[in-house]
Amino acid sequence: MPDAIARALPLLRDAPRAPDVSRGYLDLLGSTAHEPPGPVQALWESSAGTAGYDAAQGLGRRIFSSLRPPAGALRLPQGGFALDVGSGPGGVTAQLGRVVGPDGLALGVDVSESMLARAVRAYGSPNVGFLRADARRLPFPDGTVDAITCLAVLQLIPEPLAVVAELMRVLAPGGRLAIMVPSPGGRLTSRLGGLVAEPAGVRLLTGDELAETLHASGAATVHTRQQSLVLRVLARKAV
């Protein structure tokens, strides 16, 4: 069993008696059928999409500086516990692992088996591990994660605002949550959402929607920033 998964098991709400780690990550979904919610997500989960993901993200980050993972803003302590939801090929999870250090733990959560397999190969380490789980039902108790990132993925997940509430549930009091989603901002968000995004299985979210959900789920402060076509949100849970 990978060291990071062995360290993660005691942190789970209902740890499996016979953990499936045969592919290097902890599979909590097993044979549960997973259908991508739209053609965009289906592309990312395909072998071709997985191979091209890093190149697409790299290009996007060069174009939009606001796409850079906000690890510094999370104020993660050494030895802390960080979660990267929608971790894809694992680069952001690995960055969180470097921040928390060898005594800390960074876990990436995704549903894509191909993405998780790639993440394990590239970034698996004693303090960086990966789980296959549903973001709408995270396997952690309330208030146990020091910091959470959810970058460029909410728009692809069914019930994205329910996912936001779930992220806040597992976040520890005083912990920080960083969200990044593509969003044109203003009236264009709803117009493009209906015409282009929703038929492709993409939900464009507004800052107001996210802030309202975060406050209703226990956030003490919420900061939103619209830059170009990217919406960044940083929330701190009430103590």
pLDDT in tens, 17-39: 999 999 999 999 997 655 555 55
- Distance, CA of 5 to CA of 33 (rounded, Å): 23
CA dihedral 37, 115, 123, 5 (to 10 degrees): 70
pTM for the whole structure? 0.85
Q: What is the pLDDT of residue 98?
A: 95
Supply 190's token pair. 């709803």
- Distance, CA of 232 to CA of 131 (rounded, Å): 25
CB 131 within 8 A of CB 107: yes
Q: Helix and strand tally (H, E) in the chain?
A: 8, 8
CA 16 to chain centre: 22
Q: What is the DSSP letter of 201?
A: T
Q: What is the pLDDT of residue 1?
A: 93
Tell me which H or E stretch contains 94.
Answer: helix 91-100
How many other CB atoms are found less than 10 A from the CB of residue 127? 21
Q: What is the pLDDT of residue 33?
A: 52
What mean pLDDT value characterizes the chain?
85
Q: Which of residues 25 and 52 earns the better pLDDT score? A: 25
Q: What is the pLDDT of residue 64?
A: 46
The residues with which 227 forms a beta bridge, in sequence order, are 230
Place of tokens 């733990």: 105
Q: Which of residues 152 and 83 earns the better pLDDT score? A: 83
Choose among 163, 145, 141: nearest CA to 154: 163
Supply 12's token pair. 């789970």
Q: What is the pLDDT of residue 61?
A: 46
pLDDT in tens, 89-121: 999 999 999 999 999 999 999 999 999 999 999
CB 129 within 8 A of CB 108: yes
Helix, strand, coil percentages, rounded to 5, for the chain: 40, 25, 35
